[in-house]
Structure formats: structure tokens, C-alpha cells
């Protein structure tokens, strides 16, 4: 049987920031790192996916768009059997993430992950939260600001957290993002507008346990073992949040002081409640194949959905894949399952009808 040809599609240009970490002298850091400083580079992560898919029997190859539309046209002309869609932006604009998926739809090339509507909706955090609330999915109360002015009677309770409303991967989230009074709120909103522009999300901060809930599949989707983040290693006074530094910057101490625990130690009642909410949110926002939901538990162990993340990071051992591996699905097996879901949506390429000949008579 002919092996299915699978393109691992990504979009990267310029310098790889993680390549620089290989030159870092750890002895010059002002803290003791717990994890490796030299994490995998962008290219190494994509190559690992290609290697795993080859081990699963696919004719897989990496394909970098390099911010070039002609590269996208060339891929469509090549017509791979499926695409592992890892594109998060195009022309340096994250709003164009959905456009790449839409182009693949128009070319009738099946791809992994969310469709364009879901990619667009989940990037608009205010709109996604509005839909979740209307569908009885618990999510923290919020304001969406289009100008850097906060009404004194805003109706929210402190503490609050301020985030850019159209970014992901914790961009713009740091220790100063959580505020305790109106003065701090105004200052942080100003800062967020200066860095990211409108809209800005102001949300009640749930100071409790944080979970990453991975969902896999479609008919039906399943909840994988949940990841909980242990903040007890943070220095005194540090906010218990998954900031950008915690996620992505091994040169920051917080990166080494927050640890993941999988599976999360939850009572059966709490686990089932979180799973029910996560699956409901997954379906409401029309996620497909896989997603990761960020959930906080309040003091009553009630779950609150912070965000729904379609097409989450597929790096081995990180969050989504940590859940999959704990659930008994290896890195390669999980990738194969995602490709098989995409292949299940294969349709015959559209062939336009032959033009009608001249009418007789």
C-alpha cells in the first residue's frame, strides 16, 4: 500500500531565539536552574514531529511557508494526502492563522486541527467568553476595553487580571498583570494598551488551582489526564499564574519554579465536573481533533474556563502531549491519530464540468 504523504506545515522566518540559549553560561545566572536552559529549537521540534510520523508509516516531510504565499500555492499544487497544520500566523499577523486553514479547505486538502471559524473565534477572547457564558459554561466575569479608560463602577471584584484579548501563549501576561485596586487596574490597562492595543480583557482573577485540560478526538471527544501546575516553588509574594516567562523563558527563575503534575490529584467529583465543563466548551466553540483548555478551580472546587486553545503546542512532553502520554498514547501514536482524523475528511478534488457545446437547431 502506498504510504500517505503528509506535510508538517509551519511558518518561520528570521532568527530562532532558542538557538541562542545553547550559548548561555548557566554559571552567570542569579538563580539555580532546575530545567535545561537549552530547550529544543523551533526546527528541532518540527523535525521531531516528522521523525515520529515516519516511524508511524507516513511519508512525512517538513514544509516551511517562510511568509510566502507562493510557497502555499506550491504545496497545494503538490497535493499531499494530509497536512499537520502548525501555522500560527502569516505575514507576522496571528489573525491570518485561520486564513491558511481556509486556503487548505478551498484546495480540499485535509489538515489536522481546528477549522477557520474556531481559530478565529478562540483568538477573540471576549467573543469566545460571551458565547461560553451564554451556553452556561462557567468563565470568570470580564470587561472588554476598546480604549484605555476603566469606569469606576465596573462591576467586577478584585483581584483582576489584565490580558491582551487577541493574543495567545500567555503573551502580555506577567506578574504585574494581576491587580488588587483601582489605581493598579488603571496603570496596568494603560500598559497593556501601549504594548498591544485594543481590545484589552479585564477579568476577575480566580486565585486557585490551575489545570490544563487536553481533549482529543471528535466522535466522541475524550478528556485526557489533566495537568495541574504546582506554584509552591515560587518565591514569596509571586502571583500564582502561568505567565509568559513560566511558559517560554528558561532565563527567568519562574520558569524553573513552576512544575506540572499529571495526572492532577482531584477528587472524582471535581474531575468529572471539570471534564464535563471542558467537553461542553470544546463542542460549543466547535473545536476539532484536539484542544487544550485552561481551567481554574475556585475555593469551592468549581471550574472556570479561562481559555480554549485549538491547535495547542504538540511538543513532546509539554502540556497536551504530557496528558496524552500519561493517558497511554505515545508521542508518535498521538500524532498518527491526528493525521488519521484529518485523512478521514478526505474528499475527491473538485473537477469543474466540461463547458457545454453549442446548442443544436
Q: Write down the pLDDT at residue 151.
A: 86
Q: Which helix (H) or strand (E) holds 123?
A: helix 116-123
Query: What pLDDT was estimated at residue 31?
Result: 85
Return the pLDDT at 238. Answer: 93
Rg (alpha carbons) of the chain, rounded to whole number: 22
Distances (CA, A) of 346 to 74, 82, 149: 19, 8, 49
- Pair 302, 138: CB distance under 8 Å: yes
Give the predicted TM-score (pTM) of the model. 0.93
Beta-strand pair 290-297/259-261: unpaired
Q: Which residues of 107-120 are buried (b: 16+ CB within 10 A; e: fewer)?
A: bebbbbbbbbebbb
In order along its 361 residues, the chain shows pLDDT tens digits of 689 999 999 999 888 777 777 777 777 788 888 888 867 888 899 999 999 999 999 999 999 999 999 999 999 999 999 999 999 999 988 889 999 999 999 999 999 999 999 999 999 999 999 999 999 999 999 999 999 988 888 999 999 999 998 887 788 888 999 999 999 999 999 999 999 889 999 999 999 999 999 999 999 999 999 999 999 999 888 999 998 889 888 888 898 999 999 999 999 999 999 999 999 999 999 999 999 999 999 999 999 999 999 999 999 989 999 999 999 999 999 999 999 999 999 987 766 777 776 766 5
Axis-axis angle for helices 69-78, 97-106 (nearest 10): 30
Q: Residue 209, exposed/middle/buried by CB under 10 A (0-12, 13-18, 19+)?
A: buried
The pLDDT score that the predictor gives to residue 350 is 67
Reported residue count of the chain is 361
**Residues 6+ positions from 53 with CB-CB distance below 8 Å:** 6, 8, 60, 84, 332, 335, 336, 339
Query: Is 24 in contact with 79 (CB distance < 8 Å)?
Result: no
Each residue of 289-333: pLDDT tens digit? Answer: 999 999 999 999 999 999 999 999 999 989 999 999 999 999 999
Q: What is the bridge-based pairing of β-strands 59-64 and 178-179?
A: unpaired
Amino acid at each position: 500500500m502506498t504510504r500517505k504523504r503528509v506535510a508538517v506545515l509551519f511558518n518561520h522566518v528570521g532568527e530562532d531565539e532558542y538557538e541562542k540559549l545553547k550559548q548561555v553560561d548557566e554559571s552567570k545566572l542569579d538563580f539555580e536552574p532546575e530545567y535545561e536552559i537549552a530547550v529544543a529549537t523551533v526546527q528541532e521540534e518540527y523535525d521531531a514531529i516528522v521523525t515520529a510520523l515516519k516511524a508511524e508509516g507516513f511519508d512525512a516531510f517538513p514544509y516551511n511557508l517562510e511568509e510566502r504565499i507562493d510557497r502555499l500555492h506550491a504545496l497545494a499544487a503538490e497535493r499531499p494526502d494530509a497536512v499537520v497544520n502548525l501555522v500560527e500566523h502569516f505575514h507576522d499577523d496571528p489573525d491570518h492563522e485561520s486564513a491558511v486553514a481556509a486556503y487548505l479547505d478551498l484546495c480540499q486538502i485535509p489538515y489536522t486541527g481546528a477549522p477557520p471559524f474556531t481559530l478565529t473565534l478562540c483568538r477573540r477572547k471576549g467573543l469566545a467568553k460571551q458565547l461560553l457564558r451564554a451556553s452556561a459554561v462557567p468563565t470568570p466575569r470580564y470587561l472588554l476595553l476598546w480604549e484605555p479608560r476603566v469606569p469606576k463602577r465596573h462591576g467586577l471584584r478584585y483581584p483582576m487580571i489584565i490580558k491582551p484579548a487577541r493574543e495567545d501563549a500567555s503573551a502580555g501576561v506577567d506578574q504585574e498583570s494581576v491587580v488588587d485596586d483601582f489605581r493598579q487596574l488603571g496603570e496596568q490597562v494603560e500598559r497593556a494598551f501601549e504594548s498591544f492595543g485594543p481590545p484589552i480583557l479585564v477579568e476577575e482573577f480566580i486565585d486557585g488551582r490551575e489545570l490544563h485540560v487536553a481533549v482529543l478526538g471528535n466522535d466522541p471527544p475524550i478528556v485526557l489526564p489533566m495537568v495541574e501546575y504546582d506554584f509552591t516553588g515560587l518565591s514569596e509574594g509571586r502571583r500564582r499564574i502561568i505567565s509568559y516567562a513560566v511558559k517560554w523563558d528558561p532565563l527567568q527563575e519562574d520558569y524553573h519554579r513552576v512544575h506540572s503534575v499529571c495526572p492532577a490529584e482531584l477528587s472524582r467529583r471535581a474531575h468529572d465536573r471539570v471534564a464535563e465543563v471542558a467537553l461542553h466548551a470544546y463542542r460549543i466553540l466547535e473545536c476539532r481533533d484536539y484542544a487544550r483548555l485552561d481551567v481554574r478551580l475556585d475555593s469551592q472546587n468549581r471550574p472556570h474556563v479561562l481559555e480554549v486553545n485549538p491547535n495547542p503546542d504538540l511538543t513532546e512532553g509539554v502540556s497536551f502531549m504530557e496528558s496524552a502520554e500519561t493517558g497511554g498514547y505515545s508521542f508518535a501514536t498521538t500524532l498518527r491519530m491526528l493525521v488519521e482524523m484529518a485523512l478521514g475528511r478526505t474528499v475527491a478534488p473538485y473537477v469543474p464540468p466540461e463547458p457545454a457545446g453549442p446548442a443544436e437547431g
